Chains A and B, each alone.
Chain A
Amino acid sequence: MSDFPHTPPRYSATFTPAVNAEIRRAAASGIYDIRGGGTKRHLPHFDDLLFLGASISRYPLEGYREKCATDVWLGTRFAKKPIHLDIPVTIAGMSFGALSGPAKEALGRGASAAGTSTTTGDGGMTEEERGHSKTLVYQYLPSRYGMNPDDLRRCDAIEVVVGQGAKPGGGGMLLGQKISDRVAMMRNLPKGIDQRSACRHPDWTGPDDLEIKIHELREITDWEKPIYVKVGGARPYYDTALAVKAGADVVVLDGMQGGTAATQDVFIEHVGMPILACIPQAVKALQDLGMHRKVQLIVSGGIRSGADVAKAMALGADAVAIGTAALIALGDNDPKLEAEYQKLQTTADAYDDWHEGKDPAGITTQDPELFKRFDPVLGGRRLKNYLKVMTLEAQTIARACGKNHLHNLEPEDLCSLTIEAAAMAGVPLAGTSWIPGRNGGF
């Protein structure tokens, strides 16, 4: 035995313990990893942008004294009855099936109290959500589960879902363990089977068909409802332009940080673009068509705070949508439930096996015993509080930038901390006037 010191163990940067664990898991189980939520990898994000604030060249507004408005109109292009929201933070589509009935009720309560809208999901409209939502957006999805003209007429807007940020190009999946009697009935499928939502619509393909489909929906609803088109962040310049061409009132753009109820981890982590890279392309498409602010842009995917809201709006969005953050506000992944998360071999703030239906917080489950734990009145109050805080935060920043409406925030109010963010967001690297690629187009 030599007295020379051993080379210390060295982990591979390619085959990390986490990578090796996944290889072992796949080898043992024979199935890819399925989970909920959005991407967990580090990405250029709103954290890489900063506001410049007022200085000699522009003056700020007084907090609590000078007004900074937050309202937003959606659907002003064609709809006879556009939506007017008090705040530009909406609740993204999440299905009954993925979420419990009480959780959907809480989303409706919280959103309504804060003056904003909530959205149905893949599974149809529930009474819990319609009854408690002042403004409800009804998703028109490829699966068409529960789709019917009565719900189309009693919603406040229709969202034609082409894709979502967590899985652009992918359909939905609700595994058998969450197909309760009620979910099965609403979706017209046997109880207990893995239930797939199609990845594309059954009766149209391409932008020309989409135009005709939107026209049909307008005819059925007598041109009253705003029609949104939701796309995942893949080719936002072209998708936005084509949605506008097809007749959308509103484009909803979801980056890869946006969550899903369940899909393959490989899909969540490797398909789509971060929302920071998507917004400027969509805004440019709208500007090139002379439709910026005429067709409204709602962005989502990783919105967590009023700062994120303000940054998204400074880049040109009219409003944002939150999903994951809303669930956390309701009580999802709370460290108070750590002992129960440990039993599920996970930990608070990392729990993402929503498809298994065992959520200790009673939110992403169809188990009546579990969802009894969730109080929709309290959940709604927590969501309202959170939405109000986000709005106050966004107003605080906007006033500091001298803006009397959140919509007056502009890219010139921002700088970037990294070269990547500067290139993606199209705002200069801090301390420079450099926007990488600016002369090279997108």
Chain B
Amino acid sequence: MQSFDLGKEGLRALNSALHGLKGQTNMTDWEVVNPKGAHAIAAGVDAPVDITVRGSTGYYCAGMNKQATIRIKGSAGPGVAENMMSGTVIIDGNASQYAGATGRGGLLVIKGNASSRCGVSMKGIDIVVHGNIGHMSAFMAQSGNLVVLGDAGDALGDSLYEARLFVRGSVKSLGADCIEKEMRPEHYALLEDLLKRGEADGKAKPEEFKRYGSARKLYNFNIDNAAAY
């Protein structure tokens, strides 16, 4: 295992080393100690490696991740895994605002709670939150799946496009154009897979969830819908 002391060696040295990993490197196992809330830890990694961050991170940890599996043994600051392309990011603790924002692929797992705007503008990422999510989550979410084992805050899925939202607990309120939808067999299968990959298969069952999606009434402008905004 490559152990990297962020306190001693600094962020630039860490990200430079991680960016240097190309293709089928055999340096596949990394550990980052003393993160102390630093920003942009392991941002822009593009290699099939495992990185464990031992502690809490600041903004944009694992930003734009490709291929890597990044585990945060603590909580994550705003914008964790923003615009992730592929790979997996797993947070043992809580995540601050905008977790998984604009993510285009891969899997983000938050074992604690996520703050507001979780999955904002998501574009293909899958997000599994073991706890609750805050207000305005999945705002303008375009595609991908957001799975919440706990409750959702106000205005879930406001101005939603084609992303699928699955919530087990209560939803404080739905945002504009977001409605509850029927759970069909393919959704149960999808949930089963996501719960398993999201390390939550022992915690919840697919049939306990409700599905929310876009009513698609605001896709093309109509003056009679203006009051919806």
Residues of A within 8 A of B (CB): 30-31, 143-144, 147-149, 152, 175-176, 187-190, 192-194, 196, 198, 202-204, 209, 212-213, 215-216, 219-223
Contacts and interface: CB of A to CB of B under 8 A. Distances in A.
B101 A216 contact: no
Interface in B138-160: 139-140, 142-143, 159
Contacts of B117: 202
Contact of A149 (B46, B78, B98): B46
Interface residues of B, number: 43
Interface stretch (B59-67, B189-197, B201-209): B59-67
A216 B143 contact: no
Contacts of B40: 212, 215-216, 219-220
Contacts of A194: 219-221
Contacts, number: 103
Given A190-B219, A193-B220, A216-B63, A202 B123 contact: no
22 contacts: A144-B83, A144-B102, A147-B83, A148-B85, A149-B83, A192-B220, A198-B121, A198-B140, A202-B120, A203-B79, A212-B59, A216-B40, A216-B43, A216-B59, A216-B60, A216-B79, A219-B11, A219-B12, A219-B15, A220-B40, A220-B44, A222-B15
B161 interface: yes
Contacts of B82: 203
B219 A203 contact: no
Contacts of A203: 60, 78-79, 82, 97-98, 101-102, 120
B223 interface: yes
Contact of B102 (A147, A209, A219): A147
B96 to A, nearest CB: 10
A244 to B, nearest CB: 20
Contacts of B19: 222
A227 to B, nearest CB: 14
A31 B221 contact: yes
A189 B142 contact: yes
B213 interface: no
B220 A212 contact: no
A209 B60 CA distance: 11
B130 interface: no
Interface string B17-37: 001000000000000000000
Contacts of B92: none
B60 A202 contact: no
